Amino acid sequence: MLNACILAAVLAYILYKPVRKFLSKRAEGIKAQLSRAEDSQIKAAELKEQYEKVLVRLESERVSVIEKAHELAAAQCKQMLLVAEEEVSAMKQRAVADIQAQRERADEELRLHIIDVAGALAEKFVAFTIDQNIQNRLFDETIACLEDAEWKT
């Protein structure tokens, strides 16, 4: 036991300074690591704050872009509606003009048909009321008038 005490005393005397030096270096290393960790946390907090500011700015830009897109879409929609209304108006005018032209053609065809019917009716009426002598005399008079008339070409 005495040997153990002597051995402990000798070892304590010999190893005390190196162990103490080792422990102080280790404590300094741990303090340095803690200091670096605190610095890293501070930098991380700063970066987080910067990222949050960027996110807020990007969010406001996103909202602005969306609002501009809505405004542009509304303007384009209005423009498209105006163009569509103009096209509809033009189509309506063309339809009215087509209807008017068809009405005029139908009126002309009806007039010509009435003339044909009136001519046929007059021919039948004249055929029943005029005998051959009167017809020959009217034919001769008409030919004589036509021979006297000047023809324009």
Give residue-wise pLDDT tens across range 69-118. Answer: 999 999 999 999 999 999 999 999 999 999 999 999 998 998 888 888 87
pTM of the complete model: 0.43
Residue 36 — pLDDT band, cuts 50, 70, 90? very high
How far is it, in rounded angstroms, from Cα 39 to Cα 31? Answer: 12
Does the structure show a pLDDT above 60 at 151?
no
Buried b (16+ CB within 10 A) or exposed e, 28-67: eeeeeeeeeeeeeeeeeeeeeeeeeeeeeeeeeeeeeeee
What angle is formed at CA 107 by the lines to CA 103 and CA 113, rounded to 5 degrees?
145
Buried b (16+ CB within 10 A) or exposed e, 3-17: eeeeeeeeeeeeeee
How far is it, in rounded angstroms, from Cα 40 to Cα 97? Answer: 83
Structure confidence at residue 140 (pLDDT): 86
As given in the structure block, the two tokens for residue 136 are 């020959």
As given in the structure block, the two tokens for residue 63 are 């909202």
